[in-house]
């Protein structure tokens, strides 16, 4: 019986199911910790007592520092899409709708999703590695010894800065994306700027702008919360810092795609 059990544990089937089980437990454990931290953050947001100096620093980091890479990604993505769509629509007689299509695409999805990806790559990974380093070097334990709550000190300013600055970044990125699309449409299909911008207003409404802003607020809070949580529970030295950073990036990517799907179903399905 023991030899049969030993043989089974060495089989590929056992290893696959064991890996799936471990990953499922890790997933549920991480999800529970993030949810618990989210509740604590909301509690401290209502209680007040936020460090304004730290909040301003995090807002600068979350918004101003990430703006160049965000604008570059959104602008180049808009150029890629417009260069392929504009010429084909003009050939098919749909040139008067190029501006409408590009604006809807950028305002509803492209601007906010690409901005989210850029901020995850630059700011989310930075936050996770920073807090993970504090954890493995016992700086967080020192904060607790000083009777300072780590959630209030580390999480709240970052989450709040994400909620404040992400909409600003998304609005600026969307404007740059629309302008880049207009220039690209002009160069690739000789579509006039007037035709592009006149068609913008045919199907874009305040609802689209409002949903984009709400989505960006959720994205900012989610990215900051996941990055902080993954860093906060890091362990194992330098290897643990790397694993926490990787987990924060992957989880943030997955989370904002899921949130985006829920928004699409709720408002546009």
Average pLDDT over residues 56-84: 89
**pTM higher than 0.85 for the full model?**
yes
The number of helices, as runs of H, and strands, as runs of E, in the chain is 13, 0
pLDDT-based confidence at residue 7 (cuts at 50, 70, 90): low
The predicted pLDDT at position 130 comes to 92
Per-residue pLDDT reduced to its tens digit, 91-123:
887 778 888 888 888 998 889 999 999 999 889
The predicted pLDDT at position 6 comes to 62
Query: From CA 105, how far away is CA 110, in angstroms rounded?
Result: 6
> Do 204 and 104 form a contact (C-beta atoms < 8 A)?
yes
- Assess whether pLDDT exceeds 60 at residue 52: yes
The predicted pLDDT at position 8 comes to 55
The predicted pLDDT at position 88 comes to 82
Mean pLDDT lowest for which of 88-97, 131-140, 175-184?
88-97
Query: From CA 121, how far away is CA 100, in angstroms rounded?
Result: 30
> Do 97 and 199 form a contact (C-beta atoms < 8 A)?
yes
The predicted pLDDT at position 5 comes to 63
Q: Mean of the per-residue pLDDT values for the chain?
A: 86
- C-alpha distances in Å from residue 216, one per residue of 1, 139, 165, 221: 57, 32, 9, 9
- Assess whether pLDDT exceeds 80 at residue 171: yes
Average pLDDT over residues 241-250: 90
Sign of the CA dihedral with 81 first, then 84, 90, and 93 last: negative
Specify the higher pLDDT residue, 30 or 116.
116
């Amino acid at each position: 019986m023991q030899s049969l059990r030993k043989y089974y544990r060495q089989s590929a089937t056992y290893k696959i199911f064991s890996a799936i089980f471990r990953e499922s437990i890790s997933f549920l454990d991480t999800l529970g910790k993030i949810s618990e931290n989210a509740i604590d953050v909301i509690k401290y947001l209502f209680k007040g007592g936020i460090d304004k100096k730290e909040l301003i620093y995090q807002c600068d980091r979350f918004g101003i520092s990430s703006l160049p890479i965000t604008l570059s990604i959104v602008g180049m993505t808009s150029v890629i899409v417009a260069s392929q769509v504009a010429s084909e629509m003009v050939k098919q007689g749909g040139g008067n709708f190029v501006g409408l299509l590009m604006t809807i695409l950028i305002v509803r999805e492209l601007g906010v999703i690409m901005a989210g990806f850029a901020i995850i790559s630059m700011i989310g990974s930075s936050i996770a590695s920073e807090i993970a380093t504090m954890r493995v070097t016992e700086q967080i334990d020192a904060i607790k010894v000083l009777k300072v709550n780590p959630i209030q000190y580390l999480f709240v300013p970052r989450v709040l800065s994400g909620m404040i600055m992400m909409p600003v970044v998304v609005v600026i990125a969307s404007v740059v994306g629309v302008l880049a699309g207009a220039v690209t449409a002009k160069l690739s299909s000789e579509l006039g700027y007037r035709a592009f911008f006149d068609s913008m207003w045919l199907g874009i409404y305040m609802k689209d702008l409002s949903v984009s802003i709400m989505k960006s607020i959720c994205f900012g809070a989610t990215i900051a919360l996941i990055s902080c949580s993954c860093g906060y529970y890091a362990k194992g030295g330098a290897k643990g810092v790397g694993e926490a950073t990787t987990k924060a990036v992957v989880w943030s990517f997955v989370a904002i795609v899921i949130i985006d799907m829920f928004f699409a179903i709720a408002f546009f399905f």
